[in-house]
Amino acid sequence: MQQGTQLVDELFFALLLSNPGSFFSTGNGNYLEGADTAFGSDSLTTAKTQFRKQKAGPGTKAKDQKPINIRPESLVVPVELETEAELLMGASQLMIDASGTKTKIPVDNPHRNKYRVISAPHLSDTYYSGSSGKAWYLFASPSVIAAFELVFLNGRRTPVIERVEAPPNNMGMGFRGWIDVGVKEQDPRGALKIKGEA
């Protein structure tokens, strides 16, 4: 059972981090980079704004330039950013201070409880090509618009466990398990990647 779950994770994160077909790109309007994209309150505001301004596309006709008004639901971060993301989502107020400027204390944290934080060690693990401890993502609800799709044979999400006869020279019984699963990128408008660095 656990190996089936690990396989699903491995397939998904390998695809996500490989950026198939330039899925995350400025041309698709779902990619931000630069020193000011390091995770924080201001960069999250910028990312949310970029996400909300996505167009119907992908053509150049007037109807393709209409905003689709989709909100991000999940904030996906590597474990290096997990605590910072949880603090930002949970804090009722933000105190921002910088040398030579006034301290700014908003009445409320506009990001509080707005996104579901999902932290995954896969995002920064060097086992995966394209991994980063600084890059983070916003995802829409897959029921609204799916950026990626997981499919299972006959809809079965758990491994099939079958009893098999043991070889004649072995006592006891044997088992085998298998799961048919696939993952594929779908709609670039359902996710935004923020590089978190220049």
Q: Is 63 helix (H, G, I), strand (E, B) or coil?
A: helix
User: Which pLDDT belongs to residue 43?
Assistant: 96
- Per the CB < 8 A criterion, the answer to whether 145 and 138 are in contact is no
How many Å is the Cα radius of gyration of the chain?
21
Domain borders along the chain are 2-194
Give the tens place of pLDDT for each residue, 39-51.
999 999 999 999 9
Residue pLDDT, tens place only, 127-179: 999 999 999 999 999 999 999 999 999 999 888 889 998 888 888 888 888 89
User: Is residue 101 over pLDDT 60?
Assistant: no
pLDDT of residue 100: 53
What are 170-197's pLDDT values in tens digits?
888 888 888 999 999 999 999 999 999 9
Nearest Cα residue to 125 out of 4, 5, 9, 36: 9
pLDDT at 1 > cutoff 60: no
pLDDT at res. 170: 84
pLDDT, residue 167, reads: 82
